[in-house]
């Protein structure tokens, strides 16, 4: 079947071949049977890494291999206890690394699943939205501009459909599609104008079609062997850390060699120093950094999902903390996307409409008096026309509350603006279903951004025909010759037209969006001779709706938070200029010196003039998607890191060009989502603010555990180096060094990676995207704290050895315990860029548990008799512990005292 030339088939023949119904589609039962037979509608994934080999990969690290060789040597020399212990530590390290990578992979897979596309199919005669994976051959599919084509489809009806097939054919411009049969026997994919192919994008118009192939049977499936599985994205931060890791490996090896050579030159045992050197190198090299970065990013992304921000591209997490400007759509992002008609103008009068949201309860009020719609002919006509020229549906969503206080929730399926008209009409007792039962739909002239209007032609049971038109009031006025005026249809004279234009402006100044309604009766004799040009001329202007999309309650605070964080919020909308400015002022995003500019005015500015004015502009109104791209580039030229929101197909270039592309999860098209790095599952501006806050927190946490790991490693190297230079015995034996690396590095570092954000996270300016990971004094803190940790550990060792020169094991135990406790105290200092006294140490519960678990393991090594000979330790008394804690606390508290006195 998959080799069939579907473009040559007649539509009627398709119904027979695919055993489907062109009106009702497949039944759910039949669709399920076909899904079981044909399998999921997806391409085969690349070969997955076997968990066993993923575990073995943990042993590929060069230093780990060296350690295994050292273990083998230990075994051959009869040091079985050392060999077994080192092997155990290496395996535990490998298990931790495997778990981290596995969790990160699972987290990333969950993100991919969340962004999987959907498809609209007709099943059992009803339009349904299902996962694209569930589409089967024979499905009747509805496609419109912005949708990703879910399978290979033969078109059966089309309305101005344009499809971007560049991903399949290389054609740079969208192709216009048709439902006409093609008779040529051999034609290329690009010439199959009645076919849609999986993975391509509909950019405009709509169509219905029958699925003829799914999954690997599609044209995309045939070339799937050319598509390699996508590589894991490595963030700029990860690239810098990889480079840092190589530098640290080199430094660690050089310092380790220095320690070994110095130790041997002072008479230390060569084998012991070799094992010490290898152990020190393994401990000093932060081999866990890449794994911890990956897991912290993945866990941070999961937290973002809980805050309704879906990250599609990991590098955006790092970039979020650098954002200096957010260009936001108004409708649905800054507002609720629940357009509500609050005023109407018709018959020469203003009328208020009460009620809110989508609940069809409210009253029409004029001059303080309720109007009876049933006895008001023109108001009824106005509402009827509003629902005739409409694609939305108002439906009961669900009932909430107790049996006694149960409340019905209503939902608009379709465009919110059209939904507002349905709600307004329903408040007047006019329901779309009732009107359409009296009028038969004949033809539609769809809305587009150039015409700014939509028309439908209808016919009633008496064969009377009429065209209903809705659109921008200023545009509709230009196509009208008459108007409903004080109870009569009269010619639209210049004075009346001027009066109506003033009313439109007044509504806009009140932040109301306006939508005009007009009509014309069509003579029966016009027949098929009507054209789009003459059908929308000589109309009767009935009136216009004034509606508002209320601002989201949480947005004002989010904008204020962004302002404190040094982030400029800019509104970009297609709405009327005065409407947009009024909403901006309501939300507190429009400063006294702010400017509003329209798309027309923007076109009149040269690039140089626009660059000079860009910083003062806070609202862009009546702009096209093409303007968005220009705005992004201008802001980037001014040094801004730009987050750009969008939901439409034409928004994709601007979204892609921005530093952080943001698409809408609810209203966004597949094209916009594909171009974006971040998807807002609730279409809410406050979610962008939350994502930026989370992005800053993730970066801060990465700095925290880098500081902790490197300072600890510096301390371990310096205590050994200083001891060897001073000609002292080994302060730590190899097994103790490895144990410290295992117990103090892993869990505490991970706990720092999920630390709570500091209170001032959104009270500081954005981070420079080019800054080093060691900027803002981090490098100095690593070196200074590491030096103090090494010095304190060495001091504890030397003083203990001086008090009892014959008891080297006791001195090594004191040094070992001091080093562990110094690192576990230092981890709390790493929670703040200031000092340990700046934050509540009990706030991070995971860190408390990690530290407690490390201390418990330390106590086991010290007091379990079976472990003492393995780790070369002796039990410590209370006096010893006081001594240990004093020296262990010095690095953290000594460094924190200046900040304490500043407070």
- Catalytic site positions: 329
Distance CA 572, CA 327 (A): 6
φ, ψ of residue 686 to 5 degrees: the values are -60, -25
> Residue 569, SS3?
strand
Distance CA 618, CA 585 (A): 10
Q: Which of 691, 566, 859, 589 is nearest to 311 (CA)?
A: 691
> Residue 473, SS3?
helix
Buried b (16+ CB within 10 A) or exposed e, 131-144: ebbbbbbbbbbbbe
- For residue 355, is it left (φ>0), alpha (ψ between -120 and 50) or beta? left
User: Taking a C-beta distance cutoff of 8 angstroms, is the pair 714, 787 a contact?
Assistant: yes
Half-sphere exposure of 489 (CA within 13 A, CB side): 16
Distance CA 684, CA 336 (A): 8
Q: Which of 683, 709, 864, 817 is nearest to 310 (CA)?
A: 683
| Burial class (CB within 10 angstroms; exposed 0-12, middle 13-18, buried 19+) of 732 | buried
How many other β-carbons are positioned within 10 Å of the β-carbon of residue 531? 10
What string of H, E and C letters represents the secondary structure of 286-329? Answer: CCCHHHHHHHHHHHHHHHHHHCCEEECCCHHHHHHCCCCEEEEC
Strands 126-131 and 140-144: unpaired
Q: Which of 658, 583, 572 is nearest to 619 (CA)?
A: 572
φ, ψ of residue 507 to 5 degrees: the values are -60, -40
Length of the chain as a residue count: 903
Strands 349-353 and 340-346: antiparallel
Strand-pair partners of 245: none
Distance CA 415, CA 322 (A): 35
Q: Where are the alpha helices (DSSP H) in 616-684?
A: 625-637, 652-657, 670-675
Distance CA 792, CA 714 (A): 13
Q: Which of 343, 688, 310 is nearest to 548 (CA)?
A: 343
Q: Which of 229, 185, 308, 183 is nearest to 46 (CA)?
A: 229
- For residue 126, is it left (φ>0), alpha (ψ between -120 and 50) or beta? beta
DSSP-derived letter for residue 374 is G
């Amino acid at each position: 079947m998959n080799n069939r030339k579907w473009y040559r088939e007649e539509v009627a023949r398709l119904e027979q071949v695919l055993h489907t119904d062109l009106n009702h589609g497949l039944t759910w039962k039949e669709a399920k049977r076909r899904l079981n037979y044909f399998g999921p509608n997806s391409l085969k994934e690349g070969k997955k890494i076997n968990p066993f080999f993923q575990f073995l990969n943990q042993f590929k690290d060069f230093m780990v291999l060296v350690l295994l060789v050292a273990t083998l040597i230990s075994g051959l020399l009869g040091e079985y206890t050392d060999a077994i212990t080192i092997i155990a530590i290496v395996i535990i390290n490998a298990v931790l690394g495997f778990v981290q990578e596995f969790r990160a992979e699972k987290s990333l897979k969950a993100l991919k699943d969340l962004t999987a596309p959907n498809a609209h199919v007709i099943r059992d005669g009803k339009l349904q939205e299902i996962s694209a994976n569930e589409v089967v051959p024979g499905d009747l599919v509805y496609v419109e501009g912005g949708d990703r084509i879910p399978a290979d489809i033969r078109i059966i009806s089309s309305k101005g459909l344009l499809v971007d097939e560049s991903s399949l054919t290389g054609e740079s411009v969208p192709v216009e599609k048709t439902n006409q049969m093609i008779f040529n026997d051999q034609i290329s994919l690009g010439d199959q104008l009645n076919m849609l192919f999986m993975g391509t994008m509909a950019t405009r118009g709509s169509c219905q079609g029958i699925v003829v192939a799914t999954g690997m049977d599609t044209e995309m499936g045939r070339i799937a062997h050319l598509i390699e599985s996508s590589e894991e994205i490595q963030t700029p931060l990860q690239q810098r850390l990889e480079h840092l890791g190589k530098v640290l490996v080199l430094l660690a090896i050089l310092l380790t060699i220095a320690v070994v050579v110095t130790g041997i030159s002072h008479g230390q045992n060569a084998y012991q120093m070799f094992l010490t050197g290898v152990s020190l190198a393994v401990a000093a090299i932060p081999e866990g950094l890449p794994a911890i970065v990956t897991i912290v990013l993945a866990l941070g992304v999961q937290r973002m999902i809980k805050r309704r921000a879906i990250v599609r591209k990991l590098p955006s997490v790092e970039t979020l903390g650098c954002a200096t400007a957010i260009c936001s759509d108004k409708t649905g992002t800054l507002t609720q996307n629940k357009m509500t008609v609050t005023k109407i103008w018709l018959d020469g009068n203003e009328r208020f409409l009460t009620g809110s949201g989508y609940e069809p309860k409210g009253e029409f009020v004029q001059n303080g008096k309720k109007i009876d719609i049933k006895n008001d002919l023109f108001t009824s006509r106005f509402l009827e026309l509003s629902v005739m020229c409409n694609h939305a549906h108002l439906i009961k969503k669900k009932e909430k509350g107790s049996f006694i206080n149960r409340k019905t929730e209503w939902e608009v399926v379709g465009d919110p603006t059209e939904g507002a008209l349905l709600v307004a009409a329903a408040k007047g007792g006019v329901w779309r279903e009732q009107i359409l039962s009296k009028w038969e739909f004949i033809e539609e002239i769809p809305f587009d951004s150039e015409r700014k209007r939509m028309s439908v032609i209808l016919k009633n049971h008496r064969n009377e025909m009429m065209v209903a038109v809705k659109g921008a009031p200023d545009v509709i006025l230009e196509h009208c010759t008459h108007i409903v005026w004080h109870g009569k249809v009269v010619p639209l004279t210049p004075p009346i037209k001027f009066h109506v234009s003033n009313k439109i402006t007044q509504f806009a100044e009140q932040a109301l969006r306006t939508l005009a309604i007009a009509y014309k009766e069509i003579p029966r004799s016009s027949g098929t001779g009507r054209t789009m040009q003459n059908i929308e001329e000589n109309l009767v202007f009935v009136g216009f709706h004034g509606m508002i999309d209320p601002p989201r309650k949480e947005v004002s605070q989010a904008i204020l938070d962004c302002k404190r964080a040094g982030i400029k919020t800019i509104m970009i909308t297609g709405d009327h200029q005065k409407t947009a400015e009024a909403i901006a002022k309501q939300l507190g995003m429009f400063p006294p010196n702010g400017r509003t500019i329209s798309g027309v005015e923007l076109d009149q500015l040269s690039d140089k003039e626009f660059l000079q004015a860009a910083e003062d502009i806070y609202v862009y109104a009546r702009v096209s998607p093409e303007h968005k791209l220009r705005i992004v580039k201008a802001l980037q030229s001014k040094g801004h890191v730009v987050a750009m929101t969008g939901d439409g197909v034409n928004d994709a270039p601007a979204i892609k060009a921005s530093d952080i592309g943001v698409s809408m999860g609810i209203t966004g098209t597949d094209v916009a989502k594909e171009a974006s790095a971040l998807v807002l599952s609730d279409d809410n501006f406050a979610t962008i603010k939350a994502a930026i806050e989370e992005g800053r927190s993730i970066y801060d946490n990465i700095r925290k555990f880098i500081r902790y790991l490197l300072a600890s490693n510096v301390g371990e190297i310096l205590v050994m180096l200083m001891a060897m230079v001073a000609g002292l015995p080994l302060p730590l034996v190899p097994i103790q060094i490895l144990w410290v690396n295992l117990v103090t590095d892993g869990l505490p570092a991970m706990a720092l990676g999920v630390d709570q954000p500091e209170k001032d996270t959104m009270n500081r300016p954005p981070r420079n995207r080019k800054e080093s990971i060691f900027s803002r004094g981090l490098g100095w803190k690593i070196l200074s704290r590491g030096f103090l940790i090494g010095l304190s550990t060495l001091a504890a060792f030397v003083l203990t050895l001086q008090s009892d020169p014959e008891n080297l094991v006791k001195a090594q135990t004191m040094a070992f315990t001091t080093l562990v406790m110094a690192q576990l105290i230092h981890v709390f200092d790493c929670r703040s860029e200031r000092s340990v006294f700046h934050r509540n140490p009990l706030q991070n519960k995971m860190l408390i548990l990690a530290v407690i678990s490390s201390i418990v393991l330390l106590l086991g090594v010290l007091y379990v008799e079976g472990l003492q000979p393995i780790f070369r330790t002796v039990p410590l008394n209370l006096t010893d512990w006081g001594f240990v804690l004093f020296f262990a606390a010095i690095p953290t508290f000594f460094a924190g005292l200046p900040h304490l006195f500043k407070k």
